[in-house]
């Protein structure tokens, strides 16, 4: 039983963690931009959800627009 339960639990947490990184940050709506790790990101609609898309612009200060 444990040989099956442990891998299933690990898969569940990996899937949940990867999905959490795919969404825009809390409080960001479609069209909003923000600076993270020196790059500007924009929240865009990707199908039925919102996705962070890198704009190609660089920024030096962590800021919200």
Q: Is-above-0.75 flag for pTM?
A: no
pLDDT tens readout for residues 46-59: 988 999 999 999 98
Q: What is the mean pLDDT of the chain?
A: 74
pLDDT tens readout for residues 14-25: 444 444 456 899
Q: Give the strands of the sheet with 39-46, arranged side by side.
A: 33-36, 39-46, 49-58
Task: Work out the pLDDT band at 7, boundaries 50, 70, 90.
Answer: low
Q: Residue 3 in contact with residue 29, Cβ under 8 Å?
A: no
């Amino acid at each position: 039983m444990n040989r099956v339960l442990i891998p299933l639990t690990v898969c569940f947490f990996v899937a949940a963690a990867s999905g959490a990184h795919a969404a825009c940050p809390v409080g960001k709506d479609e069209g909003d931009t923000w600076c993270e790790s020196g790059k500007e990101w924009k929240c865009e609609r990707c199908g039925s959800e919102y996705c962070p898309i890198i704009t190609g612009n660089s920024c030096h200060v962590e800021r919200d627009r």
